[in-house]
């Protein structure tokens, strides 16, 4: 209850902060985009990870104003980096179930994009499989509306949910993000290697982009490269960082 009360004030008191994690194209050795990852700088408890407060934000519906703030701030940040000459092409933003179910989601996203002046195709919204199986009709309609704007849609944590392949095929999806739990063990665990292999092949056959998450070692990079999965995100390349640190580290003038 205490954390919940504090969360009501967090946005107004500027305690929320967005970290950004680079997404690499290992073929061109360039960062193509970043994922926005929310952090809560709690005045007493210090930095709180999203796993500890996103569920509370969902239950209380605070995720709605917080999510809108994340979207606006991250789109503005991408625009700012581009204006500084940093050739990033994409911002990935996580969307939770509660947000996805808001009937003004389309209006909210389109007004943020026009307010910021960001081309819609530079925004990728990450949804989880669990969200898309909740209400099939609403999911399809909402996704089609969003796609109509020109934005891209990624399925996050792919492989950990329960959606069927036939259903996935019917949705306007651009990208599969391979869950980090599969990547973490690919070099020791034959099952995880097989699953990762299968997801990459699935994406390639369905003409979807595929990005591996949780890429931590050179072995991971080699495994993925050998299978032509060249989009990667993980500690091997960079941890999620403050916007300023991203610029310091990667903005070459």
Which DSSP helix (H) or strand (E) runs through 182? Answer: helix 180-184
Beta pairing partners, 41: 47
Closest CA to 11 of 58, 70, 51: 70
Would you say 127 or 200 has its CB closer to ligand G?
A: 127
Least distance in Å: CB of 1 to Na ion?
29
Binding-site member from 68, 126, 129, 179 for Mn ion (CB under 5 A): 126
The Cα 119–Cα 126 span in angstroms is 17
Site string for Na ion, 163-202 (x = CB under 5 A): ----------------------------------------
Which of helix, strand or coil describes residue 201? helix
Would you say 31 or 176 has its CB closer to Na ion?
A: 176
Least distance in Å: CB of 83 to ligand G?
23
Least distance in Å: CB of 157 to Na ion?
4
Which of helix, strand or coil describes residue 33? strand
- From the number of C-beta atoms within 10 Å of its C-beta (0-12, 13-18, 19+), residue 248 rates as exposed
Would you say 249 or 253 has its CB closer to ligand G?
A: 249
In the complex, the residues that contact ligand G under the rule CB under 6 A are: 21, 37-38, 49-51, 54, 67, 70, 94-96, 156-157, 180, 213-216, 234-235, 240
């Amino acid at each position: 209850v205490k954390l919940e009360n504090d969360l009501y004030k967090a946005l107004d008191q500027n305690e929320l902060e967005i970290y950004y994690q680079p997404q690499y194209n290992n073929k061109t050795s360039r960062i193509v985009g970043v994922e926005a990852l929310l952090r809560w700088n709690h005045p007493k408890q210090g930095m709180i990870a999203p796993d500890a407060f996103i569920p509370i934000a969902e239950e209380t519906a605070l995720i709605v104003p917080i999510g809108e703030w994340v979207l606006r701030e991250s789109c503005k940040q991408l625009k700012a980096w581009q204006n500084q000459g940093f050739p990033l092409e994409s911002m990935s933003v996580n969307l939770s179930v509660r947000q996805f179910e808001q009937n003004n989601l389309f209006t909210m996203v389109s007004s943020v994009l026009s307010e910021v002046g960001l081309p819609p195709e530079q925004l990728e919204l990450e949804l989880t499989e669990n969200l898309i199986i909740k209400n099939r009709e609403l999911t399809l309609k909402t996704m089609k509306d969003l796609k109509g704007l020109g934005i891209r849609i990624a399925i996050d944590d792919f492989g950990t949910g329960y959606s069927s392949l036939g259903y996935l095929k019917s949705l306007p999806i651009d990208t599969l993000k391979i869950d980090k739990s599969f990547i973490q063990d690919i070099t020791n665990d034959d099952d995880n290697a097989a699953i990762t292999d299968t997801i990459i092949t699935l994406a390639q056959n369905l003409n979807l982009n595929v990005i591996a998450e949780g890429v931590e070692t050179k072995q991971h990079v080699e495994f993925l490269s050998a299978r032509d999965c060249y989009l990667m995100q993980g500690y091997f390349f960079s941890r999620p960082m403050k916007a300023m640190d991203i610029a310091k580290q990667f903005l070459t003038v």
